[in-house]
Amino acid sequence: MHYYGVAYYPELRTHEQIESDLTLLAEAGMNLIRVGEFAWCELEPAEGIYRFEWLESVVERASSKGIWTVLCTPTAAPPAWLTEQMPDMGYVDSQGRQRPFGSRRHYCYNHPRYRELSSRIAEKLAARFRDHPRVIGYQIDNEMAQEGTGRCRCNLCKRQFHAWLERKYGSIEQLNARWGTVFWGQRYDSFEQIGLPVATMEANSISPIPAFFDNPSLRLDFERFCSQSQIEYLQIQAEALRTFGSPNQTVTTNGTGTGTNSINYFDAFAPMDRYGVDAYPNLRGEDLYAASFEWSLARNVAVSTDNHRFWVLELACGGGHGLWGFEGRLQPYPGAIKQLALHAFASGAELVTHFQYLQFPYGAEQLNYSILDADGIPRRRYEEVRAAASDLREMADMLERTEIRCDTALLFDYDSLWSLGIKPVNHDFTYVDHAREWYARLLESGIGADVISAEAGFDRYALLIVPSLFVTDCKLQAKLKAYVANGGTLIATFLTSVKNKDNVAHQQSLPAGLTDLFGIHVTEWEPVFEQSIATVGIEVKGERLSGSNRHWTESLEQHGAVLAAEYMNTFRQGQGVISSYKYGSGTAHYVGTTIAREAGKEWLVSLAEQAGVSIAPFQLPSGVEVIRREGEGETVWILFNANTCEKEIAIDGTFVRLSDRLPVPNNIRLPAKGYIALVSS
């Protein structure tokens, strides 16, 4: 079953307004509400005094209209009585300031008493609704680490970090040796002497001392510690929900995808029932590539469950006033809301809720984006979600009997993300953007891909792309070699295998531990600034293509590899920049810079063809994406035109429309923000 609905806030509505709201939702064909994530002060107005009757009434009234409910633990918004009771539970930011009551997310996730009360409210909620047939599950908290709250620096966290380090290293001597603390005279005599990092890369945070350079090993371990601390906090609530709730109710939380990056989601969601994510793509944009990246990550974080389905617990749906950008937000292009919702379902979502149903008249998020404006009158955004719900019902059977299967994967690694954020190489380069760019090139080429972790199995993929795998160890190096030796095709990009797991530079030729896999040594490297721009020539199927280097550039020395591209000018003229090397039964390719889009796309397609990768039989204009789903001997191709203008798509083969099984011509015109589902005939 698929669930489509809204984030709803009945605590702000009267009895009569709730009735009207639920009626409008049912008439739109929506079948789910998500409620309660900021309602702790209503659910427990004083310690130990619980008032769930109002929430039960909402759940019952929604149920009477065929609407299911996801309940949220309200721990993202601790009430005033709790904050007053525990003055030491406040989150301490990178400036050393404790967050006061009056916003949200102002708690320390390691505080033992706060953890206890969080577990207790989750327990009471689960016990109260465990037997309700229309409560399908729970969202824990709300957007952990959002608004710069993922790296608490209170004294409690400092003590716990010391204990964490002692468990990891065993002795201060071992830590000193592995971190190289003799440099700059930073040797410690005890774990208690270790301070928390001064610098920060957390979203919306500012380092208190601009030119303070912490030990990179300290910083990476602090990233890991904070990630694990928040995962522990989520697990405490998950355990309470499972102990006192029903085994038929799903337990998850809503992450922020690659927006916040303060938590390793591969670890955080491994024990959850579904991967949950919030997504706010640009609804006036001309492609869905960034959203597709998030959906692919979502499918593959969720592999610990019985399928790859995920929940989108907040999805963009409007514009107008804003908050986080400190300015307003553009309204969606006509058709964009419907397209985005159906794109999520086609990509593997089991549940989608838009944020939000009705504009808040109060508080920090007042007048923020919503389906209905504050006056409650249905307008075009309401009609779009009604149309999306209708189309979802038509697609439901196909979505149930098919699934997404990819023979290409892109490796996404949190250690590399954090390490490159700690010591950036170019202000125009980020690990996430680099990974997304490679993923977009795949989509532009008609190649679907899974976004996977280093712990996932590689062998089922014909092609594996590894963008800037900056941090490696012997185990991961051996895994990459085994994949290629067994017949896989590997593409790795610049900044591969530069550091070890302690965030210390490998003391070998680069890519460290992998020079025999790629048949090259990286002999020199530098960022691409104005003075280091060079033209790169690439051989693709006997044709010479060219384009400029970007972001970072490396010179490759051949040790058995064949050069596929070289520099055509500057003092690097004639030096290699892309190489290919046969290793065992497979091939390993190394890309020493970000290459021009069209030249890089042509080269990528040629490698995919050689690797036997499935490529969609369509000539895709920019901004047009295809999702392939398979099942019961049938292949369904769903094409989405994210552009704000009509696009013509050439088709190679014979296809019929899924909706009526009528044949389609060899050239189809897809309207702005339109989609079509085709079946091979």
What span, in angstroms and rounded, lies between the C-alpha atoms of 386 and 390? 6
Annotated binding site for substrate: 104, 142, 324
What span, in angstroms and rounded, lies between the C-alpha atoms of 249 and 137? 4
Annotated binding site for Zn(2+): 108, 152, 154, 157
Contact 33, 62 (CB under 8 A): yes
What span, in angstroms and rounded, lies between the C-alpha atoms of 596 and 461? 26
Secondary-structure percent of the chain, ordered helix, strand, coil, rounded to 5:
35, 25, 45
Annotated binding site: 104, 108, 142, 152, 154, 157, 324
What span, in angstroms and rounded, lies between the C-alpha atoms of 439 and 644? 22
The helix/strand/coil state of 550 is strand
Contact 310, 275 (CB under 8 A): yes
What span, in angstroms and rounded, lies between the C-alpha atoms of 603 and 599? 6
Tokens for 557? 């020395």
Beta strand pairing status for 3-7 and 32-35? parallel
What span, in angstroms and rounded, lies between the C-alpha atoms of 573 and 568? 5
Nearest to 50 by CA among 128, 116, 106, 112: 128
Tokens for 188? 């410690």
Is the previous residue joined to 527 through a cis bond, with omega within 30 degrees of 0? no
Nearest to 468 by CA among 438, 509, 428: 438
In the set 37, 143, 223, 365, the catalytic residue is: 143
The helix/strand/coil state of 450 is strand
CA gyration radius, the chain: 26
Contact 94, 206 (CB under 8 A): yes
For residue 286, what are the contacts with CB-CB under 8 A and spacing of at least 6? 622, 623, 642, 643, 644
Tokens for 269? 């969601």
143 labelled catalytic: yes
Paired residues of 17 in beta bridges: none
What span, in angstroms and rounded, lies between the C-alpha atoms of 253 and 37? 11
Contact 139, 73 (CB under 8 A): yes
The helix/strand/coil state of 660 is coil
Contact 656, 662 (CB under 8 A): yes
What span, in angstroms and rounded, lies between the C-alpha atoms of 417 and 409? 18
Residue 652 buriedness (CB in 10 A; 0-12 / 13-18 / 19+): exposed
Contact 340, 392 (CB under 8 A): no
Nearest to 551 by CA among 529, 566, 536: 529
Paired residues of 255 in beta bridges: 277
Dihedral sign, Cα of residue 203, residue 207, residue 211, residue 217: negative
42 labelled catalytic: no
Q: Kindly give the residue spans of alpha helices, DSSP state H, lying in 264-413.
A: 265-268, 289-301, 336-346, 380-401
The helix/strand/coil state of 464 is strand
Contact 34, 7 (CB under 8 A): yes
Q: Which residues of 545-570 are buried (b: 16+ CB within 10 A; e: fewer)?
A: bebebbbbbbbbeeeebebbbbbeee
Point out the residues that are catalytic.
143, 314
